[in-house]
Structure 1
Amino acid sequence: MTTGVVVILFNPDVEHVNALINAFTAPEWNIVLVDNSFERTQYSASRNVTYIHCSSNVGIAQAQNIGLKRLFDNDVEHAFLLDQDSLFSPDIAHELLRQFLQLEKEHSIAAIGPSIYCQFSECVDKGVLQKGKQVSNTLKEVKQIIASGMLISRYAFNKVGGKESKLFIDGVDHEWCWRARAKGMVIYQSLSACMPHRQGDDRVKVCGVTFKQGAPVRLYYQFRNVLILARRRYVPLYWKVRHVCAIPLRYIVNRYCFTQGKERGRFMREGIKDGFLHRTGPLGVKGKGKQR
């Protein structure tokens, strides 16, 4: 059985991507690289690798759709989604696939992902407000998982639909999980497969509270998409309350406590404005779509 692996790229570390390709050279893997970088990049030559270049940067959601569709249209039944810096191995993949195949015999499963070992806190992330419901020694049912390491099936992709390209980047993985749950499907996180992962570029403590620090432009999508998703019925109430109420605090910290504060403030204000106006798509593109 062939299993797909979709890796989304944007100005990546070529050496790391080549190492990932080389780890999945066995015939059982079919790899699709979807590159949102402006310039094409050469990677390790391998028969099982397809390279798709999107020089206009279609966003992470559409890039994932492109990669998944390429695999599922070629009769691949299951596929992993990875970020360009994912520390993902065949051992993790095999364990997740084993669990998925067992679960889909008994449940309408939408996706499964690994436990996440946070490289900043150096411990396994157990969630702040949503810790999930443990259903066995090796599994828990959760409301959402991140895209990196996510395993989905062709059946689930067809039933739930693709990732929402209008969101462009932030909130894409969670939105898909919530939409799947609204359709009666279940999301799982493995307790027996764990993946190291970094979210954001850094962690900064302000008054004893730890904040993620990323590129200033990401704040535009984070603030905008929170306001867009908070209007939807299928989005969990705890998520709406937590993220909408955090907007003033996040604005103050990013504007006055982080570097590039003025630039961060500009992106946050633009994101808040476009969130209220239901504007979607990439920042700065004329005729951005309006969320209905």
Structure 2
Amino acid sequence: MPDPRSSRCALGVTLFRPGRDQVERVLAQAAVAGATVIAFDNGGLSAADAARLVHAGVNLLSAGHNIGIAAALNRIAASARDAGAETLLLLDQDAEPPENLAAGLLAALGALRRAGIPAAVVGPAPAPAAGHKAPAYPPRPGVPENGALAPVQFLATSGSLIDLAAFERVGPFRDDFFIDGVELEWCFRAWSRGYGCYVARDVAIPHRVGGGVIRAFGIAMPRQPLFRMATYLRNAVYAWRLPHVPLRWKLAQAAYLPLQAGLYWADSGFRPAVLLRLLGAAGDGALGRLGPPKGLPKDLP
């Protein structure tokens, strides 16, 4: 939760068809946050639950339909800036942040500022959740650590604290990416504009990605719906066209993406339709055809 002493830290939560326990979690966060709480409904929030959130003081935003995670985060950031916030702690509806999360990240950002190190975002170390693969954050080559703060190429948005002044300079999340690879592209862009991305290793939060894990040949990857895997593949291929994405990363992805796609196809039972969908997604990325994913199920983020 944001430190009650820091009224200029806002809490942003993205919602999509939240269950009762998820709404209760946001209500609990609003009760103890001591800061501006902003939620974006990306679809499926009932009128009764919306009213409960508003009554609890949550600034509830909605476009009336699913606009994707990137656009939702941009709307939250704009609302936080309008409220006078300097920092924004992002969470998703499934996040169960430890009590020290906001205080630890605010302290980490303060330590970087005192050291004269410009940072766009500071996040917690990913902790595994049962049945899910925790994300891995590759280190940023050539950038020294600062105590418990490690420079990384990118990190997940959920659980991360964004410096809103840096956000203004780096620019918004790419809404044409819609959902997958959003934070990866933004963090690479931040590095290219002189703002670092750091993990606070003394703070951790569980991450739940996908609906299980695909394991083969010593590799583990999240098990995702087909439209999510296709969007990830599309956006990763498109990222090869971006000058701020490091060449080393592009080369690593050129080797790794076909392997991931192959493992996903095998996990599907080698269905031809899955292979064609993945190949089409890679082609869309190469040609720059972005936006809402093809075959996006109604009401899904």
TM range (shorter): 0.7 to 0.9
For the residues of structure 2 that align with 1:264 and 1:31, how far apart are their CA atoms? 40
What runs of 5+ residues in structure 2 fail to find an aligned partner?
1-5, 296-301
Where does residue 67 of structure 2 map in the other structure? 58
Cα drift, residue 208 of structure 1: 3.7
Query: Conserved in 2, the CA contact under 8 Å of 1:219 and 1:271?
Result: no
Cα drift, residue 227 of structure 1: 1.1
Q: Percent identity?
A: 25
1:93 paired with 2:102, answer yes
Where does residue 203 of structure 2 map in the other structure? 193
Query: Conserved in 2, the CA contact under 8 Å of 1:137 and 1:191?
Result: no
Name which of structure 1's ranges 15-24 and 60-69 shifts more when overlaid on structure 2. Answer: 15-24
Where does residue 14 of structure 2 map in the other structure? 8
Query: Conserved in 1, the CA contact under 8 Å of 2:176 and 2:291?
Result: yes
For the residues of structure 2 that align with 1:27 and 1:120, how far apart are their CA atoms? 27
Where does residue 177 of structure 1 map in the other structure? 187
Deviations 1:148-179 (A, max 9, x none): 11111221111111111111111111111111
For the residues of structure 2 that align with 1:145 and 1:266, how far apart are their CA atoms? 30
1:216-227 alignment, distance < 5 Å: 216-227=226-237
Cα drift, residue 244 of structure 1: 2.3
Could you tell me which amino acid in structure 2 is paired with residue 68 of structure 1? Answer: A
1:30 paired with 2:36, answer yes
Name which of structure 1's ranges 141-150 and 43-52 shifts more when overlaid on structure 2. Answer: 43-52
User: Structure 1's 20 and 276: CA in aligned 2 closer, same or farther, altered over 3 A?
Assistant: same
Could you tell me which amino acid in structure 1 is paired with residue 100 of structure 2? Answer: D
For the residues of structure 1 that align with 2:33 and 2:135, how far apart are their CA atoms? 33
**Partner SS state of residue 215, structure 2:** strand
**Partner SS state of residue 209, structure 2:** coil
Cα drift, residue 261 of structure 1: 4.2
Cα drift, residue 67 of structure 1: 0.7
Q: Report how many aligned residue pairs link the two structures.
A: 284
Cα drift, residue 107 of structure 1: 1.9
Cα drift, residue 181 of structure 1: 0.8
Name which of structure 1's ranges 261-270 and 98-107 shifts more when overlaid on structure 2. Answer: 261-270
1:156-167 alignment, distance < 5 Å: 156-167=166-177
Where does residue 110 of structure 1 map in the other structure? 120
**Partner SS state of residue 151, structure 2:** strand
For the residues of structure 1 that align with 2:144 and 2:23, how far apart are their CA atoms? 34
For the residues of structure 2 that align with 1:25 and 1:260, how far apart are their CA atoms? 49
Using the size of structure 2 for normalisation, the TM-score is 0.85
Deviations 1:246-270 (A, max 9, x none): 2322222222323694553343123
Cα drift, residue 125 of structure 1: 6.2
Where does residue 288 of structure 2 map in the other structure? 278
Query: Conserved in 2, the CA contact under 8 Å of 1:60 and 1:168?
Result: yes
Query: Conserved in 2, the CA contact under 8 Å of 1:254 and 1:261?
Result: no
For the residues of structure 1 that align with 2:32 and 2:253, how far apart are their CA atoms? 42
Using the size of structure 1 for normalisation, the TM-score is 0.87
**Partner SS state of residue 24, structure 2:** helix
Query: Conserved in 1, the CA contact under 8 Å of 2:16 and 2:45?
Result: no
Name which of structure 1's ranges 85-94 and 195-204 shifts more when overlaid on structure 2. Answer: 85-94
Name which of structure 1's ranges 53-62 and 38-47 shifts more when overlaid on structure 2. Answer: 38-47
Q: Which residue, 71, 86, 98 being the options, matches 2:80?
A: 71
Where does residue 236 of structure 1 map in the other structure? 246
**Partner SS state of residue 152, structure 1:** strand
Query: Whose strand fraction is larger, Structure 1's or Structure 2's?
Result: 1
Q: Which residue, 277, 283, 292 being the options, matches 1:267?
A: 277
User: Structure 1's 203 and 137: CA in aligned 2 closer, same or farther, altered over 3 A?
Assistant: same
Cα drift, residue 99 of structure 1: 1.6
Could you tell me which amino acid in structure 2 is paired with residue 154 of structure 1? Answer: L
Where does residue 298 of structure 2 map in the other structure? none
User: Structure 1's 26 and 142: CA in aligned 2 closer, same or farther, altered over 3 A?
Assistant: same
Cα drift, residue 278 of structure 1: 0.6
Where does residue 289 of structure 1 map in the other structure? none
Could you tell me which amino acid in structure 2 is paired with residue 215 of structure 1? Answer: P
If asked which structure has higher relative contact order (CA below 8 Å, sep 6+), I would say 2
User: Structure 1's 93 and 261: CA in aligned 2 closer, same or farther, altered over 3 A?
Assistant: farther
For the residues of structure 2 that align with 1:92 and 1:166, how far apart are their CA atoms? 30
Query: Conserved in 2, the CA contact under 8 Å of 1:23 and 1:90?
Result: no
Where does residue 48 of structure 1 map in the other structure? 57
User: Structure 1's 126 and 217: CA in aligned 2 closer, same or farther, altered over 3 A?
Assistant: closer
